[in-house]
Amino acid sequence: MLCPKCRSLNNKVIDSRLSKSEVSIRRRRQCLDCDYRFTTSEEVMRADLQVVKRDATREDFDRSKLVNGLKKAIEKRPIESLQIDLLISDIIATLEEKFDQEVSSEMIGELIMERLKKLDKIAYVRYASVYKDFRDIDEFAKEVNKLK
Ligand SMILES: [Zn+2]
C-alpha cells in the first residue's frame, strides 16, 4: 500500500476494525518514512458516509462518482494514473479523518479542486467549470485569472 503523501511502501497497521455495517475491515496505517497516517479498507469504502447535495437531498458516498468526475477533468492531460490514484486515496483519507457521518457535496468538490489546482491547472479549470457551474463568462475568466 503506497503512502498517499510520500509514496513509500513501508507502513505498519496501527488499528483494524470492522465497520459499523460489517461489510468492510478498516485499517489505520502509519507510514514508516514520513509518519503520515491513512486508512485503507477492504471491500466497500465509506459505506456509512452520506453526501448532502446542494438541494439538501442525501445519497451514499460513491467512490466511482468521484473517479468519473476526475476522469473527465483529466482527459488527455499528462497525468499518470498513479497520481490520480494517490489523489483519490488522499481525498478519501481526508474524508475519513474529518467527517463522521455526512459531508456536503460542496466540501468534496473543494477537496478535489484544491488538489487538482496543484496537479494540473487545465484539469482544475475543467473540473471547476463543471462543479462551480459558472453563471457567466466573467466568473469563469475571474477563476482563470486567479491561476496566472
Ligand atoms: Zn509517507
In DSSP notation, 28-48 reads EEEETTT--EEEEEESSTTTT
Q: How far is it, in rounded angstroms, from Cα 29 to Cα 12?
A: 5
Q: Phi/psi zone of residue 35: left (φ > 0), alpha (ψ -120 to 50 degrees), beta?
A: left
The pTM of this model reads: 0.61
Is 37 or 140 the better-scoring residue by pLDDT?
37
pLDDT tens for 74-98 read: 888 888 877 887 888 788 888 888 8
pLDDT given for residue 129 in this prediction: 83
On whether both 31 and 69 belong to a single domain, the answer is no
How much distance in Å is there from the Cα of 11 to the middle of ligand 1? Answer: 8
How much distance in Å is there from the Cα of 148 to the middle of ligand 1? Answer: 31
Q: Is residue 54 part of a domain?
A: no
Ligand 1 is an ion; residues with CB less than 5 A from it: 3, 5-6, 8, 31, 33-34, 36
On whether both 141 and 68 belong to a single domain, the answer is yes
Number of folded domains that form the chain: 2
Per the prediction, the chain carries an average pLDDT of 83
How much distance in Å is there from the Cα of 15 to the middle of ligand 1? Answer: 17
Helix (H) or strand (E) holding 119: helix 105-119
pLDDT value at 2 more than 90: no
On whether both 70 and 20 belong to a single domain, the answer is no
Can you give the residue range of the structural domain that contains 75?
Answer: 61-147
